[in-house]
Structures are given as C-alpha cells and as structure tokens.
Amino acid sequence: MESFVEGASQGEGKISVRVGHGRILNLKKDLDAGANGQSSIAVGDPNIVDFALVSPRRIRLLGLKIGSTDLSIETADGETITLEVVVGPDLEVIRGQLRAAFPDTDLKLGQVGDHIAVEGQAR
C-alpha cells in the first residue's frame, strides 16, 4: 500500500473514517485515463462510505454509517489496490453529550464492532 497511497506504512491495508466526516487519500499515481487504459474506483457497500475523485491523485472518502467495506482502486496502467475502510462513530461528540447530561460521573466509551460500549455509573 505504501507504494500507492502517500503516508501509508508497509502492510497497512485499513483506512479509518468517522461517521459524518471526510478523509482525503493522496495517491502516488494518477487515476487519469491515459492512452494505456481506464482507471476505476469501486466501493463494496455504498451505504457505509461514499467517495469522490477530487483530482487525479486525490480521493475524498465520506463516512456514512458505522461498519466496514472495501475500496478498490485501479490505475490507468492496470495497477490495483484494495483497502478496507472502517467507519466508526465520532466518540468525542458522544463523550461531550454524556458529560453535559451527567457532569458528575466518569463514563468511558469504546467501540466494540459496530456498537458503542459505555462503562461507568450515572444517576
């Protein structure tokens, strides 16, 4: 993946996005369809993540709902990479809402699969 996506480390095949937020993928190769062929981008479950081509080397991902799906990118020269896109909740927003509702408590949040776990006690 590091030869395809800027800033990626070796062996990394996951991209994280929060629900309602976007993330830009900077690619090292153009996706413009040149004389050699045609490029393509496909997402496994369009209900989880949406994408838009911002420029020949930039893809914007938008998290739509919690879950995970695949994103396949093929360049005009036939190179293909498939990434797992994991869309998770915006836990900071939920933490803020819980602090406002229960100011005298110490609640902890975590994500377990597609669910949010809340730990602690509140009145």
Q: What are 83-116's pLDDT values in tens digits?
A: 899 898 888 888 888 889 888 888 888 877 777 8
Is the model more confident about 65 or about 113? Answer: 65
Three-state secondary structure along 39-62?
CEEEECCCCCEEEEEEECCEEEEE
Name the H helices within the chain. Answer: 91-101
Tokens of 119: 């730990």
Tens of pLDDT, residue by residue over 4-35, are: 777 554 556 788 899 999 999 988 878 775 55
Cβ burial 22-39 (10 Å sphere, 16+ → b, else e):
ebebebebebeeeeeeeb
Q: Is residue 59 very low, low, confident or very high in pLDDT (cuts 50, 70, 90)?
A: very high
Q: How many residues does the chain have?
A: 123
Output the pLDDT for position 102.
87
Predicted model pTM: 0.74
* Residues forming beta bridges with residue 63, ordered by sequence position: 19, 49
